[in-house]
Chains A and B, each alone.
Chain A
């Protein structure tokens, strides 16, 4: 059955590449082709989930590329392909003929393929490959409307932030090889590594996972990522890419356990994110921002589940959240197109204007709020039961985060169900189409249905079956009082929030400003990381030009100067002495010429004088 797995990952990747290479020529055919490809991929994913194939190909020396499907991978592969299919079916109505649809659908397919590689990867190199390509496609999709510099900057922020965290995966791979030189970097072998490498592996993987899943302190990139088209937010930034981190943590749960500290760190990172980003979501005034913050918070529950060994609960949460959140994001996109705004105040009465969409939104929001008997309520209780076993403090913190979910979901609902305001009172940010295409509804309806139906997975025999599929032994099941408590809290909070409406919350503005701006993490990162690095870069450049290069030029100039000096001084000196010698010889010659007068009497006198001198010498020497 290995062909199924190869086909599952190769099909979307190949089709996406072809669409991208064809460019605008593929626009017309791209949407149907992409939906068809993803439908086939969905079939393949379901087959793979049942047959659990594993494949292997040589990649690097001693480090093969291994892909395999087990329970967790199978469920995720099905989730990813299903959500992608629905989002693509929806997007087919969203992008008009003027948009570059080939690029959009090609990128989405490429993304889906790399996500499938990520969830089926059995060794670190392949995981890293899928992982980073996801990041790159996310960049291209956030910056899809590239004429707007703000969106491109948002894409850059998202890519740089996630890549910063991805460095952890590179280090983990190196540490895994150092710990086990003959190993193949298989994810299942990681927990066997010896110290200190095991801690480095754990730290690296946790960092990468928190970054990809937009957990604290990396959350801010997801806020910026909302600059992308709504289908992108619905697919990448709620249902698929951002859950990759949670998936990885669920996958390496044995390593977290073995490291001794990993589980605790992960559990608290998750629950702190769930609370903090829950508060951020409550403080938002923009629907997409609210949903983005709530994604971080809901993924925080999954991360918590990975930390407390609640694989079943975490996986259920992951699937249920994928359905609910992509539904909500798609509808926010529908309203953005129709009404031209995504601010909560701009969406007054949106659900009343477009009833069908409004009802579907309500289903999604109630699910997100954790209201019984919807799926997220059930999933959350299963994972909180595991947290209770681990540490009651985690359970309580998890309940606080659950209360916040109810709060922000009810808040969003309250706005959209207000009476429709008179026409001029709400200034649109841009003119909307005032139209919801009916073809957009079926995919939304399927997602809403999933929100309702997936709750079944948490109970009784189906719940046990899920645990069995996930190979998760002895998962704690929630007691009756836990079900009741969470249900009561969710209902009570949602009700209270509905009644409270948009009245001012009596809290210092410091809070609303802090949470409204996503905890100021991005400005802090700008101030303490980006600016110093840029300053360092300019300093290095200055050093390069003014010191290193100047030294080389100086040396060159020095050589030329030396040459000139030699020319003027040495050379002149040498040449001067030579000519002085010549001058002296010439003078001597001239001197020697003087006696040669040609007159006999002078020669006679000279001879007499010379003989006299000779005689004197002779006398004295003797």
Chain B
């Protein structure tokens, strides 16, 4: 079941490439959207059949490279199921959004379907090497998306993105090999490694392994100071690429912390939790401050990702605090972290798609070039305002549910760090209000660079169809979050139990 879900998009991608050259673009788009919708439906079925209290489910285990301790092992639990759903939702939104894309549609669709395989694969992998393979293939896929369909400076941005994140993944591989060597019998299987806790009592070795894995995941997340690939990649990537990059690919980093670093290296994670918390606070404040100074709309959203991912880092660091704090608070923090991954995926996905719509109309992301476009595009304005307020953590949207849990759960164990971190939601409020004011409100002014299409139209049907579901889901999670939290909570308690060993 899971394997079909993971590899189906690639199969369709191959099929697309095998279609005759003259296949009309409409057919290709149709196949793409239908596939993404089918995957979405499959995930819904998966979710419906999932038993929240049942631990790892839909497991498949097969021999792959037994001589090296590598196996094909996939499964889902409360950490991965929301990520699977998020992945499918975002890829579907991007498929719909790209309805008007006319540059090499066949390759674009095939690439996105391949990317979907890699993303789903990362979230279901229960073997380190399998995880690593999907993790790296996602980088390759995104490289081609940026290099092939990006803006002016795409070649450099794609190269920078690839080299930086690839270097990070090499660190990750080093850490994985460290784990492999420490375990007896040698294995890359995540479930076995988690059960064995191979590095218990070997602080020095474990510290080095955590450092390697930590750097690898920190580059992907990204945390300060490993984030500088992010703004460039985002400003040059096409809108759908940015949405996937920020919405799904970044989550691989934080997901890795929850899936690999915390359960397999509990002692050393607890030992270095303070470092993690400090990194989290730096990400939150630094990311928000740098975002506040941007004049490029897309770059600003990119930096808010650093800020939003910082809340996750804070939460997973605070959850590791020692026994004097309650399990209730820790579980809130971890649940909040996973909720934040979902929430950030939905909202930043929506924001990047909207930024793409802005670029298509004005051919620039420079906020100073626009003013008062609410007069021309009220729906566009309304959507962006909703996405911005949701992103700044307004109650009624998913961001609040996530951030409230993170703050409330982290304050007890880490009062000072959390008190500093709440300033982050103030800074994000400031920067989003400023952006709304600059671009959408005030007297009308449009950029008039040569080549700009003069009439500034409101959102078209395909853009609406892509963005509205993302915002609607954010509202659903924000008002009736139980359907999501019921899945996440048992998993976060399980992570905490593993961490407390």
Residues of A within 8 A of B425 (CB): 163, 167, 170
In the complex, A538→B289 CA distance in Å? 8
Interface range on chain B: under 10, 10 to 19, 20 to 34, or 35 or more?
35 or more
Task: Check A552–B411 contact: CB distance below 8 A.
Answer: no
Q: Provided the pairs A62-B328, A163-B426, A541-B294 are in contact, do residues A174 and B437 lie with their beta carbons within 8 angstroms? A: no
B441 at the interface (CB under 8 A from A): yes
Distance of A537 from chain B, by nearest CB (Å): 4
Least CB separation from B412: chain A residue: A178
Q: How far is the CB of B447 from chain A (nearest CB, A)?
A: 18
Nearest-CB residue, chain A, relative to B339: A60
Distance between Cα atoms of A217 and B374 in the complex (Å): 34
- From residue A149, how far is it (CB to closest CB) to chain B in Å? 4
A167-205 CB mask vs B (1 if < 8 Å, else 0) is 100110111011001100100000000000000100000
B325 near A: Cβ within 8 Å?
yes
Across-interface contacts of B372 in A (CB, < 8 A): 146-147
Which residues of chain B are within 8 angstroms of A125 by Cβ–Cβ distance?
A: 404
- Which residues of B sit under 8 angstroms from A129, Cβ to Cβ? 395-396, 400
Segment at the interface with A among B89-97, B189-197, B264-272, B481-489: B481-489
- Residue A23 lies at the interface, judged by CB distance under 8 Å to chain B: yes
Give the CA-CA distance A60 to B479 in the complex, in Å. Answer: 11
Q: Does A597 lie at the interface of the complex (its beta carbon under 8 Å from any beta carbon of B)?
A: no
A538 touches B410 (CB 8 A): no
A146-B404 in contact given A167-B423, A181-B328, A552-B228 (Cβ < 8 Å): no
- Known contacts A152-B441, A160-B429, A549-B228; A177/B374 CB under 8 A: no
**Docked pose: A59 CA to B286 CA in angstroms:** 31
- Closest residue of chain A to B493 (Cβ to Cβ) is A61
- Cβ–Cβ < 8 Å partners of B228 in chain A: 544, 548-549, 552
Looking at B325, B389, B427, which has the most chain A CB atoms within 10 Å of its CB?
B389
Give the shortest distance, in Å, between B373 (CB) and chain A (any CB): 11
Min Cβ gap A145→B in Å is: 10
> B395, A133: Cβ atoms under 8 Å?
yes
Confirm or deny: A128 has a beta carbon within 8 angstroms of a beta carbon on chain B.
Answer: yes
By the criterion CB–CB under 8 Å, are B331 and A540 in contact? no
Query: Which B residues touch A329, using CB under 8 A?
Result: none
Q: How far is the CB of A134 from chain B (nearest CB, A)?
A: 10
Q: When chains A and B are docked, how far (Å) is the Cα of A544 from the Cα of B283? A: 12
A171 and B292 contacting across the interface, CB-CB below 8 Å: no
Contact B422 A146 (CB under 8 A): no
Is A156 part of the binding interface, using a Cβ–Cβ cutoff of 8 Å?
A: yes
Interchain CB contact under 8 A, A160 and B426 = yes
Q: Verify A544–B290 contact, CB threshold 8 A.
A: yes
Q: Mark B380-407, 1 if CB is under 8 A from A, else 0.
A: 0010000001000011100011001101
- How far is it, in angstroms, between the C-alpha of A152 and the C-alpha of B332 when the chains are bound? 37
B10 at the A interface (CB under 8 A): no
Q: Does B375 contact A (CB under 8 A)?
A: yes
Chain B residues positioned under 8 Å from A130 (CB to CB): 395
Contacts A149-B441, A159-B433 given: A178-B329 contact, CB under 8 Å?
Answer: yes
DSSP class of A's interface residues: helix, strand, loop or mixed? helix
Q: Mark A146-158, 1 if CB is under 8 A from B, else 0.
A: 1111001100100
Among B400, B433, B440, B482, residue most surrounded by chain A Cβ atoms (within 10 Å): B433
* B422→A170 contact, CB < 8 A: yes
Pair A147/B164 contact, Cβ less than 8 Å: no
State A143–B412 Cα separation when bound (angstroms).
38
Q: Is the CB of A147 within 8 A of B442?
A: yes
B55 to chain A, nearest CB (A): 18
Contact of B437 among A61, A153, A167, A540 (CB under 8 A): A153
**Interface residue? A75 (CB, 8 A):** no
Q: Using Cβ atoms and an 8 Å threshold, which residues of chain A touch B331?
A: 61
Q: Given the complex, which residues of B lie within 8 Å of A175, measured CB to CB?
A: 411-412, 415
Which among B378, B389, B407 is the interface contact of A170 at CB below 8 angstroms?
B407
Complex interface bits, B403-438 against A, C-beta within 8 A gives 1, otherwise 0: 011011111100100110011011101100110010
- Whether A147 pairs with B290 at a CB distance below 8 angstroms is no
Taking CB atoms and an 8 Å cut-off, the chain A residues in 82-136 that contact chain B are 125, 128-133, 136
Please, how many residues of chain A have a CB less than 8 angstroms from a CB on the other chain? 54
Within B92-113, the residues touching A (CB, 8 Å) are none
Partner of B286, one of A60, A152, A540: A540
User: In the assembled complex, which residues on chain B have CB atoms less than 8 Å from the CB atom of A60?
Assistant: 332, 335, 401, 404-405, 481, 485
For B375, what are the chain A residues with a Cβ–Cβ distance below 8 Å?
A: 147
B227 CB, min distance to chain A CBs, angstroms: 8
Evaluate contact between B429 and A159: CB separation under 8 angstroms.
Answer: yes
Chain A residues within 8 Å of B427, by CB:
533
CA distance A58 to B160 in the complex (A): 46
Nearest CB in chain A: distance from B385 CB, A: 8
Pair B293/A537 contact, Cβ less than 8 Å: yes
- Residues in B with CB closer than 8 Å to A132 are 394-395, 400
Q: Closest approach, in angstroms, between the C-beta of A249 and any C-beta of chain B? A: 21
CB distance from A270 to the nearest CB of B (A): 25
Could you tell me which residues of chain B, from 51 to 71, have a CB within 8 Å of some CB in chain A? none
Contacts of A23 in B (CB 8 A): 378-379, 382
What is the bound-complex CA distance between A537 and B433, given in angstroms? 16
Confirm or deny: A608 has a beta carbon within 8 angstroms of a beta carbon on chain B. Answer: no
B30 within 8 A of A: no
When chains A and B are docked, how far (Å) is the Cα of A60 from the Cα of B374? 37
By the criterion CB–CB under 8 Å, are B293 and A181 in contact?
Answer: no
Q: Decide: A540 near B411, CB < 8 A? Known: A136-B389, A147-B441.
A: no
Complex alpha-carbon distance, A260 and B294, angstroms: 46
Residues in A neighbouring B441, C-beta threshold 8 A? 143, 146-147, 149, 152
- The verdict on B443 contacting chain A, using a C-beta distance below 8 Å, is yes
B452 within 8 Å of A by Cβ? no
- Given A133-B395, A146-B441, A175-B411; A167-B426 close (CB under 8 Å): yes
- Nearest CB of chain B from residue A64's CB, rounded to whole Å: 10
With a CB–CB cut-off of 8 A, which chain A residues contact B394?
132-133, 136
Question: Is B225 interfacial (CB 8 A cutoff)?
Answer: yes
Tell me whether A149 and B443 are in contact in the complex, defined as CB-CB below 8 angstroms, given that A159-B433, A167-B426 are known contacts: yes
Per-residue contact bits, chain B 322-336, to A (CB 8 Å; 1 contact, 0 not): 000111110110010
Contact B489 A171 (CB under 8 A): no
**Bound-complex Cα distance A403 to B404 (A):** 44
Q: Does B163 contact A (CB under 8 A)?
A: yes
Docked CA distance A363–B157 (Å)? 69
- With an 8 A cutoff between CB atoms, is A621 at the interface? no
Q: Cα distance A185–B440 when bound, in Å?
A: 39
User: For B327, B412, B418, which residue has the most chain A Cβ atoms within 10 angstroms?
Assistant: B412
Q: How far is the CA of A131 from the CA of B396 in the complex (A)?
A: 11
7 more A-B contacts (CB under 8 A) besides A133-B395, A538-B293?
Answer: A59-B482, A60-B405, A170-B422, A177-B408, A178-B411, A185-B408, A534-B292
**29 interchain pairs, CB-CB under 8 A:** A20-B382, A23-B382, A59-B482, A60-B481, A62-B332, A63-B408, A125-B404, A132-B395, A132-B400, A133-B394, A143-B441, A146-B372, A146-B441, A147-B372, A148-B442, A153-B437, A156-B434, A159-B429, A160-B433, A163-B425, A167-B422, A174-B418, A177-B332, A181-B329, A533-B289, A533-B427, A537-B289, A537-B290, A544-B290
9 A-B pairs with the lowest CB-CB distances in the bound complex, closest first: A174-B411, A178-B412, A181-B326, A541-B293, A129-B395, A537-B292, A537-B293, A540-B289, A146-B441
